[in-house]
Chains A and B, each alone.
Chain A
């Protein structure tokens, strides 16, 4: 099973780098995922705004939010999301927020 290491802790991720156990997500995990998967050395307040919104939405609805909802909630224009997360909303932002792999051809 692929995994990433964090201060001695093993975090299991699937073949695409998505968390195997999305419920085990913490802010530390987010930092680590951002570094390992998105090459982001640190998460700024803007990153956190997106990540936290996605996380809360997911915890509440068990669903990844549409990118429109991310923009609405954070007030960022669409392009900003792509600037913040190079892999885009699905494979970038949702992954860092510890969501499971979205279904469909993405």
Chain B
């Protein structure tokens, strides 16, 4: 079979770096020893790949494989292609074709009868699989913008995730993907935060909050049973930026919420979404659901995180084979309710700088929240302005699909960040607000690289700024 000429982005040639995989095996990590976390073994991965492909593919994905008519209409929906218009390998259809051709050759019949006629093709060996790895991890943030722009309804974003999942099973993944998966399998959270560090950081935030509010009434309860709200967070909040935990605690306190955080099962993020590994996805999501079960919490509330929301609210139940029994919502929805019910009061004149809102793909395109964050922002900010395009048509922050953890693809990611930079610049805003921790980092990278005069904030930070504290003793609702 004639080999196609390689992509011009250079990303496609990134080698497979399996050093930390080898180390994990040598160290005898339980997740590796028990076969949950797969590591790379040179050998016949081609056969295993093809078996997995045939075994795993579902009906919605199989029709996405067959339905594409090569019309090219999806090209201009993808920020990779928009930023590199002379590079056809940046189009969603080309990327999807790299798995599609294997499907046609080995699963579909047209490609078996006359492969060259429909451009079906196989994989020769690990080198080809490594190229595929670079395409599905390195040139796509799985943001599903193309999905919404394909007239045929082909779900390229999901095809990319599916392909990632096959490669993850073989350990043919970027080093960062392996490392984060390992940490989440091993420690239950993707940044390997220990229980001690988790608890101590919560105490620290509680103390800071007590100083700020001048009352010992405030608490960040842990493992308190029978609460209305079980609050789950992103480990980044513990490890590097716990201010958001304090904001949430302050809001819960003022709203008189009965809430708790779990000692275990507190990580609502889920690297299984990015690596395509449904088993990891199931494990992490189940931890959260079982924490709520164990503590008899009435509701699961997810801190501001795009992929965490999508994973915990939408995909996780299905991955885990766990029927949803309790409401599971984003903290932004919770806050919106507090505002509507008058449980907290805010003064928008405390946030005067012009603010724009960046819709997280995982929330706007693969989830349901579009108007909710805007309603909150309109109440807490004096100058809110839309970015264009917006809502489910917004462009990815460029850091989606776990790309922030894959350093080797960063130059390309920043290059195609031009689209986001132009979009941000045109708003004239000084603050860009997003309800996703991942987007915060993705946007920060774009802002720094393109030297934009913008600061990234999250919804809770703006709400917390705008909070009007009741005069002491005036609060009537029970605080807990």
Tell me the A residues contacting B by CB distance below 8 Å.
14-16, 18, 64, 66-68, 71, 77-78, 87-91, 101-106
- A68 pairs with B201, CB closer than 8 A: yes
Give B200 Cβ to nearest chain A Cβ, in Å: 6
With known contacts A66-B201, A68-B201, A103–B243 Cβ distance under 8 A: no
Contacts of A105 in B (CB 8 A): 180, 190, 236, 269, 307, 399, 402, 404-405, 437-438, 441
Nearest neighbor of B405 in chain A, beta-carbon distance: A105
Tell me if B454 is interfacial: C-beta within 8 Å of chain A.
Answer: no
Please, how many residues of chain B have a CB less than 8 angstroms from a CB on the other chain?
36
Nearest neighbor of A2 in chain B, beta-carbon distance: B411
Contacts of B190 in A (CB 8 A): 103-105
- B235 pairs with A104, CB closer than 8 A: yes
One of B52-60, B191-199, B282-290 at the interface: B191-199
Contacts of B236 in A (CB 8 A): 104-106
Contacts of A103 in B (CB 8 A): 176, 179-180, 183, 190-192, 405
- B183 pairs with A104, CB closer than 8 A: yes
Which 4 pairs of residues, A with B, have the shortest CB-CB distance? A15-B410, A104-B191, A103-B179, A90-B240
Tell me the B residues contacting A by CB distance below 8 Å.
176, 179-180, 183, 190-193, 197, 200-201, 204, 208, 235-236, 238-243, 269, 307, 399, 402, 404-405, 407-408, 410-411, 437-438, 441, 444, 448
- The prevalent SS among residues of A at the interface is loop
- A66 pairs with B238, CB closer than 8 A: yes
- A15 pairs with B411, CB closer than 8 A: yes
Bound state CA distance, A89 and B243, in angstroms? 12
Give A82 Cβ to nearest chain B Cβ, in Å: 9
- A88 pairs with B269, CB closer than 8 A: no
- B239 pairs with A90, CB closer than 8 A: yes
Nearest neighbor of A64 in chain B, beta-carbon distance: B239
Per a CB cutoff under 8 Å, which of A18, A67, A77, A101 touches B240? A67
With known contacts A103-B405, A105-B190, A106-B404, A66–B197 Cβ distance under 8 A: yes
Bound state CA distance, A35 and B300, in angstroms? 44
- B240 pairs with A89, CB closer than 8 A: yes
- A67 pairs with B437, CB closer than 8 A: no
Per a CB cutoff under 8 Å, which of A14, A68, A102 touches B242? A68
With known contacts A102-B191, A103-B176, A103-B405, A66–B410 Cβ distance under 8 A: no
Per a CB cutoff under 8 Å, which of A16, A67, A71 touches B241? A67
Bound state CA distance, A63 and B242, in angstroms? 19
- B183 pairs with A68, CB closer than 8 A: no
Contacts of B399 in A (CB 8 A): 105
- B180 pairs with A68, CB closer than 8 A: no
Give B151 Cβ to nearest chain A Cβ, in Å: 33
